A and B are shown apart, each in its own frame.
Chain A
Amino acid sequence: MQQHALNLEDALQTYFQYDTFRIGQKEIIQDVLAGKDVLGILPTGSGKSICYQLPARIEEGLTIVVSPLISLMIDQVKQLKATNFKEVVAINSFMSPTERRNVYQNLVNYKLIYVSPELLQQQELLNRLKQIHVRLFVIDEAHCISQWGHEFRPDYLKLSATIKELNDPTVLALSATATPEVQSDIMNALEKPAMIKRIYPMDRENIAFILEEVSNDHEKIDRLISIFNTYHVPALIYFTSRLAAENTASILTQRLANRDVAFYHGGMEQVDRVSIQQQFMNDQLDIICCTSAFGMGINKSNIRLIIHFHIPLQLEAYIQEVGRAGRDGKSSVGVLLFSQRDAIIPNHIIQNELPDETDLKNVFHYLYTISQTETKNPVDEQIEEQLQLNENHWKFFKYQLEKHGMINNNYIVYQENDWKIAYHSIEQVIKQRMQYKEEKLHEVLSWVQSKNCLRKDLYQSFQSSYRQSMYQCCSNCGFSWNDWKPEKTNKTIEKNADWKERLKNLLLVGETHETN
Chain B
Amino acid sequence: MFLESIILKCFYQLNGERSVSSVYHLLKGNKSIQTIQDAHSYQLETLYGIYRHLTRNSFNQKVSFLVEKEYLNEIEGETNAFRLTGQALSCLAESKRQFPFEYFNGLRYNETADTFQLRLLLLIQTLTNTKMRFYQFIPITDQISVEQWVKQIYRKMKSNEAHALQAIYQELYQLLQLFPDKYASLFVERLTGYKTYGKSMNQLAELTKLSIMDVHLLLTGIIHKMIQVIETKPEQFPVLSFLIGDLIEQIPITNSANLTYQLLQKQYTIDQIAVMRNLKINTIHDHIVEIALYDTAFSIDHYINQEKQQQIIDVINQENTFKLRDIKKAVHDDISYFEIRLVLAKKKLLK
Q: Residues of A at under 8 Å CB distance from B?
A: 74-75, 77-79, 82-84, 90, 94-96, 99, 102-103, 246, 250, 253, 262-263, 268-272, 274-276, 278-279, 281-282, 284, 498-500, 502-504, 506-509, 513, 515
Residues of B within 8 A of A103 (CB): 144
- A269 and B184 CA atoms in complex are apart in Å by 23
Give every chain A residue within 8 A of B137 (Cβ-Cβ): 82
Chain B's interface size range is 35 or more
Q: Within the complex, what minimum Cβ distance (angstroms) separates A240 from chain B?
A: 20
A272 B201 Cβ-Cβ under 8 A? yes
- By a CB distance below 8 angstroms, the chain B residues around A282 are 195-197
Q: Which residue of the partner chain, among B136, B144, B165, B201, contacts A508 with CB atoms under 8 Å?
A: B165
| C-alpha spacing A309/B206, complex, angstroms | 23
Chain A to chain B contacts (Cβ below 8 Å), 28 pairs: A78-B138, A79-B138, A99-B144, A99-B145, A250-B206, A253-B206, A262-B200, A262-B203, A268-B200, A271-B118, A272-B200, A274-B139, A274-B140, A274-B141, A275-B197, A275-B199, A282-B195, A282-B196, A499-B188, A500-B173, A503-B176, A506-B124, A506-B191, A507-B124, A507-B169, A508-B194, A515-B132, A515-B133
Residues of B within 8 A of A269 (CB): 53, 201
How far, in angstroms, from A263 to B142 measured CA to CA in the complex?
Answer: 21
Contact A502:B144 (CB < 8 A) given known A82-B135, A508-B194 = no
Residues on B with beta carbons closer than 8 Å to the beta carbon of A275: 140, 192, 197-200
In the complex, the 4 A-B pairs of residues with the closest C-beta atoms, listed nearest first = A82-B136, A499-B185, A272-B200, A506-B193
In angstroms, Cα B139 to Cα A78, docked, is 8
CA gap between A279 and B137 in the complex, in Å:
12
A115 to chain B, nearest CB (A): 15
| A78 & B142 in contact (Cβ 8 Å cutoff) | yes
Q: B145 — nearest CB in chain A belongs to which residue?
A: A99
Which residues of B are found within 8 Å of A279, using beta-carbon distances? 197, 200
- CB-contact partner of B138 in A99, A250, A274, A508, under 8 A: A274
Q: State the total of A-B contacts with C-beta under 8 angstroms.
A: 115
Of chain B, the residue at the smallest CB distance from A74 is B142
Separation of A94 and B144 alpha carbons in the complex (Å)? 10
User: Are A506 and B128 also in contact (CB < 8 A) when A272-B201, A279-B197 are?
Assistant: yes
**Could you give, for residues 107-131 of chain B, a 1 whenever the CB lies within 8 Å of some chain A CB and a 0 otherwise?**
0000000000010010010001001
- Residue B317 interfacial (CB < 8 Å): no
B188-223 interface (Cβ within 8 A of A): 188-189, 191-203, 206
Q: A502-B185, A503-B169 are in contact. List 10 more A-B contacts (CB 8 A).
A: A75-B138, A82-B137, A268-B200, A274-B140, A503-B176, A503-B188, A506-B124, A506-B188, A508-B132, A513-B131
**A508 close to B193 (CB less than 8 A):** yes
Of the listed residues B176, B181, B187, B188, the one surrounded by the most CB atoms of chain A closer than 10 A to its CB is B188
Complex interface bits, B135-176 against A, C-beta within 8 A gives 1, otherwise 0:
111111111110000000000000000100110110011001
Cα-based distance from A269 to B51 in the complex (angstroms): 13
Task: Contact check, A506 vs B206: say whether CB atoms are below 8 A apart.
Answer: no
Chain B nearest CB from A220 CB (Å) reads: 22
> A83 contacts B136, CB within 8 Å?
yes
B262, chain A: closest CB distance, angstroms: 23
B303 → chain A closest CB, angstroms: 34
